[in-house]
Structure 1
Amino acid sequence: MITLKNADKYIESRFRRTFILKGIDLVVKEGEFVSIMGPSGSGKSTLLNIIGMLDKASAGEYYFLDEPVHKFSERKTSNLHKEYIGFVFQAYHLIDELTVYENIETPLLYRGVKSKERQSLVAEMLDKFQMVAKKDLFPDQLSGGQQQLVGVARALIGKPKLLLADEPTGNLHSEQGEEIMNLFKKLNDEGMTIIQVTHSEKNAEYGSRIVRLEDGAIVSDGK
């Protein structure tokens, strides 16, 4: 599903090149559940953003479902992202001016899903995450944990082929965190490919494989 070949990410200044990722070779097959781990500043979120097509590698090749993403225009990349990828962000990235209902609905609007189907899918998600009573509230009226649950619901509503999650339980209390991880495990068992960035060894164990990064490079990759 995903192949990265010798991918670098760097920031260029006048006299030097600062590498965030260096020489990344990574293959993720459809249906895998991969955890990316490593110390702060090791490049985990940057790698996730490149896989999620929110950022581009500075060098190297990226194939998604055999498509050469590194050769695509921004528009084509954006369409691919909308079609196949759900993203759970560490900092929620909810839209402040939209209600819980509207935030969850947003990916379906981008995809042009008809109104009746949208209503039914959003209702299903609100129910699943016990958010029905909060559907008309705005993000700043919710706790951090509740905002994160809305973020997860929004990522899942389009039934993505690939779910990317950046510290998905970082802002949740342990019981909520466990619920989310169990949900991810169930989705993975049903065939969804999942890649999560996590600091938690316990959360990493929900996956089938751990990729460890240090100083922008993969230092280990195994079950």
Structure 2
Amino acid sequence: MNIAIILAGGVGKRMGLHIPKQFVRVNGKPILVYTLEAFEQSPLIDAIEVVCVDGWQNTVKTVKTLGQKYKITKLNWIVTGGNTGQESIRNGVYNLKETVSSTDNIIIHDGVRPLINKDVLEDVIIKCDKYGNAVTSMPYYEQIFIKDKENPNITNKYIPRENLRKVSTPQAYKYDRLYTKYKEAFSKKIGISNSSYTNTMMTDLGVTLHFASGSDKNLKLTTQENLETFKAYLYSKRK
């Protein structure tokens, strides 16, 4: 089975909004629903779990009960998120312990990445089946320079961009490895800082990751500018 964990635990501080960004309505529909629709429409996805910021569980339940309106039928679990992104993912992973098989693929995806491409989703599942994990990635085209240790306003070192990959979600992992590594990470306090994610945690714990295909369209909506870009995309699609 292929089970998607959709993370909807953010609070939207960088957007300066009074509600979590995943629940902002665009053309009358919450951003989270756009994301859920992409997974709902994929024949490869068998079930969906949403990890939700505390206090908004009923809003997600409404999405589930309005199945006819939004056509979301695969949403089987709604889990309360934690204080950090890693705690939220952990909660979602642990919640599936008595439900899924150890060999099932768990696809982790940000709820505020609504423009997930079906080919990207398919490739991350194929790679996970083959290697046991897969992370969506793209070449990195910008120049990266390293700040001087003594003076952060100057530099004389850079990282060749051909050595870099830009990684995002979706990411996929076999359930047994995912569950075991989250247990280990929180026990040893490795890879669970505020900036950590499943992929960085895995590498901190010595796991080799495998790249899957990505897409420039797979935008994460974290700022007002990102939101306007998303609206523009929807407008052009309607046209």
Task: Identify whether the pair has TM-score above 0.5, normalized to the shorter chain.
Answer: no
Greater relative CO, 1 or 2 (CA 8 Å, sep 6+) = 1
Normalised to the residue count of structure 1, the TM-score between the two structures is 0.29
